[in-house]
């Protein structure tokens, strides 16, 4: 029973880690960064004021970098 519980926990953590670091097919890394979901939400809101396209993408990525996240 312990083995099954530990395996389920490991599987859950593995899936959760992938879900929080892969957005739009590109990965993110951030040692000591703010929690990913909160940083992403804040940066999406900040970048929404920019025109769609390269300017919005650059704004989003600069915001994420300021929160400790970088594209892999």
pLDDT at 9 over 50: no
> What is the per-residue pLDDT across 48-70, written as a single tens digit (0 to 9) for each?
999 999 999 999 999 999 999 99
pLDDT at 46 over 60: yes
How much is the pTM? Answer: 0.64
> What is the per-residue pLDDT across 16-35, written as a single tens digit (0 to 9) for each?
343 345 555 679 999 889 99
Cβ atoms within 10 Å of 47's Cβ, excluding its own: 19
Q: Give residue limits of the domains in the chain.
A: 2-71
**In angstroms, rounded to a whole number, what is the distance separating the alpha carbons of residues 35 and 61?**
15
Cβ atoms within 10 Å of 39's Cβ, excluding its own: 19
Are 27 and 21 within 8 A, CB to CB? Answer: yes
Token pair belonging to 50: 């920019």
Long-range contacts of 57-60 (CB under 8 A, 24+ apart): none
């Amino acid at each position: 029973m312990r083995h099954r519980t530990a395996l389920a926990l490991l599987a859950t953590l593995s899936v959760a880690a992938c879900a929080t670091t892969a957005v739009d097919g590109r990965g993110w890394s951030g040692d000591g960064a703010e929690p990913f979901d909160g940083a992403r939400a804040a940066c999406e809101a900040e970048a929404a004021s920019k025109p769609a396209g390269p300017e919005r993408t650059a704004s989003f990525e600069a915001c994420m970098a300021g929160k400790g996240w970088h594209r892999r």
